[in-house]
Amino acid sequence: MIRTPSISVIVPVYRAEDYLERCVESLLSQTFPDFEILLVDDGSPDHSGAICDDYARKDDRIKVFHKLNGGVSSARQYGIDHAIGEYVIHADPDDWVESSMLEELYNKAKEEDADMVICDYYMNYENKQVYKKQEPSSLDHRTVLKELFQQLHGSCCNKLVRRACYNDTGTRFPEGFTLWEDRFVCCSLLLTDLKIAYLGKAFYHYDRISNDNSLVVYPTKKGLYSIVQFIDYIEGKLPCSDSPQIYFNLKCHAKEYSFLLKQSYAEFYGIYKDINKDYIKNSKVSILSLYVRMALIFNSSSYMVLSSNYMFFKRLLLKIIRLISK
């Protein structure tokens, strides 16, 4: 008879040999023993797959799956398809968790009979750790959905979800996404009337240092595709009066990402070109938004100069700010 664990922890693995052990060790150190870990090796070219296999030989709660590279969204869905736990949570291989995470989240889920439990998290930088509170203003699914675009994080890593909800809502990780695949899934789940609980403690540590291959740091065409597909999916679905501003903010983000990608001027100008005039008048203040405004105001030759020199200017300005603040 197959043992059905209370929780399935899904870890997509790709080029993670330098920090995978820290992640897995933190999961194996849980005070709650009734779980399975699904390590999904997404065709990683380094020694990550071998590290996964080594852990599986040592602990039968660990299941390893080797698949052809299909991207993080594909790997997460592969984990969902093979998970058998009552609840599911995700973890990234460059992050780590507190030892009581699974126990406290599961106890809260059972106590509240919740479909989803949201908790706080830590953001870990080189010289500091920042506590990120994630308490929704209401536990109604419509409010939580709206606040995913405001103060709440769209990650699946600080949310324990009843596995049946994925099937009941028809939720699947979107094929081809390299960004925002977790936000897509959270939104898909929250478009239905889930029972939500909140636990005001942080367990999950997001590592902002180790993984220098981040698609957020290095924009790609696939990343832009993911953002545009997400906007097309969610537009018109948000049941709140703030939705026009939310859609506008999302399109502004796509415009900024396109600028960082250094596309042709026609491609940059053409992406959500209906917001160009409003973007120029937008009150948002940042180095990036200033550059994007100038790129929209001036001609294509100015755009190439601006997009090529943005990162240099930003680094220089941040260095000056750090020197002044000392």
- Read off the pLDDT of residues 252-270 as tens digits, 9 standing for 90 and up: 999 999 998 888 899 999 9
- Give CA–CA dist 222/229, Å, rounded: 10
Q: Are residues 195 and 284 in the same domain?
A: no
Is 2 part of any domain?
Answer: no
Q: What is the pTM of this model?
A: 0.90
**pLDDT computed for residue 100 by the predictor:** 98
Q: Are residues 174 and 262 in the same domain?
A: no
Structure tokens at 167: 């099937």
When comparing pLDDT for 288 and 309, which is higher? 288
Structure tokens at 60: 């039968």
Average pLDDT of the segment spanning 21-28: 98
- Domain's final residue, options 182, 207, 232: 207
Is 185 part of any domain?
Answer: yes
**pLDDT computed for residue 285 by the predictor:** 73
Q: Are residues 195 and 253 in the same domain?
A: no
**pLDDT computed for residue 291 by the predictor:** 86
At 153, give phi and psi (nearest 5°).
-85, 135
Given pLDDT bands bounded at 50, 70 and 90, which one contains residue 300?
Answer: confident
Give Cβ neighbours of residue 63 (< 8 Å, ≥ 6 apart). Answer: 36, 37, 38, 39, 56, 82
Q: Are residues 129 and 203 in the same domain?
A: yes
Is 155 part of any domain?
Answer: yes
Q: Are residues 131 and 279 in the same domain?
A: no
**pLDDT computed for residue 214 by the predictor:** 43
- Give CA–CA dist 197/306, Å, rounded: 46
Q: Are residues 80 and 182 in the same domain?
A: yes
Given pLDDT bands bounded at 50, 70 and 90, which one contains residue 213?
Answer: very low
Q: Does residue 119 register a pLDDT over 70?
A: yes
106 neighbors 7 (Cβ within 8 angstroms): yes
Is 220 part of any domain?
Answer: no
When comparing pLDDT for 212 and 15, which is higher? 15
pLDDT tens for each residue of 58-92: 999 999 999 999 999 999 999 999 999 999 999 99
Q: Does residue 215 register a pLDDT over 80?
A: no
**pLDDT computed for residue 290 by the predictor:** 86
**pLDDT computed for residue 80 by the predictor:** 98
Terminal Cα-to-Cα distance of the chain (whole angstroms): 63
- The candidate with the shortest Cα–Cα distance to 183, out of 105, 97, 100, 250, is 250
Is 95 part of any domain?
Answer: yes
Neighbours of 131 (CB within 10 A): 9
pLDDT tens for each residue of 287-296: 888 889 888 9
Given pLDDT bands bounded at 50, 70 and 90, which one contains residue 322?
Answer: low
- Give CA–CA dist 226/1, Å, rounded: 41
Long-range pairs for 170-174: beta carbons < 8 A, 24 or more residues apart: 172/77, 172/80, 173/73, 173/74, 173/76, 173/77, 173/80, 174/73, 174/226, 174/229, 174/230, 174/233
CATH number reported for the structural domain that contains residue 100 in this entry? 3.90.550.10
Q: Are residues 69 and 138 in the same domain?
A: yes
Given pLDDT bands bounded at 50, 70 and 90, which one contains residue 246?
Answer: very high
Is 291 part of any domain?
Answer: yes
Q: Are residues 20 and 86 in the same domain?
A: yes
Nearest-5° angle of CA 146, CA 222, CA 260?
80
> How many Cα neighbours within 13 Å face the side chain of 162?
19
Q: Does residue 40 register a pLDDT over 90?
A: yes
Structure tokens at 245: 């501003």
- Give CA–CA dist 87/262, Å, rounded: 42
When comparing pLDDT for 238 and 103, which is higher? 103
Q: Does residue 136 register a pLDDT over 70?
A: yes
How many independent structural domains does the chain possess?
2
Q: Are residues 98 and 176 in the same domain?
A: yes
Q: Are residues 245 and 178 in the same domain?
A: no
The mean pLDDT of the chain is 91
Domain extent for 288: 241-325
Q: Are residues 118 and 167 in the same domain?
A: yes
pLDDT tens for each residue of 140-168: 999 999 999 999 999 999 999 999 999 99
Is 212 part of any domain?
Answer: no
190 neighbors 154 (Cβ within 8 angstroms): no
**pLDDT computed for residue 303 by the predictor:** 80
Given pLDDT bands bounded at 50, 70 and 90, which one contains residue 313?
Answer: low
Q: Are residues 160 and 308 in the same domain?
A: no
- The candidate with the shortest Cα–Cα distance to 13, out of 59, 89, 85, 69, is 69
Is 120 part of any domain?
Answer: yes
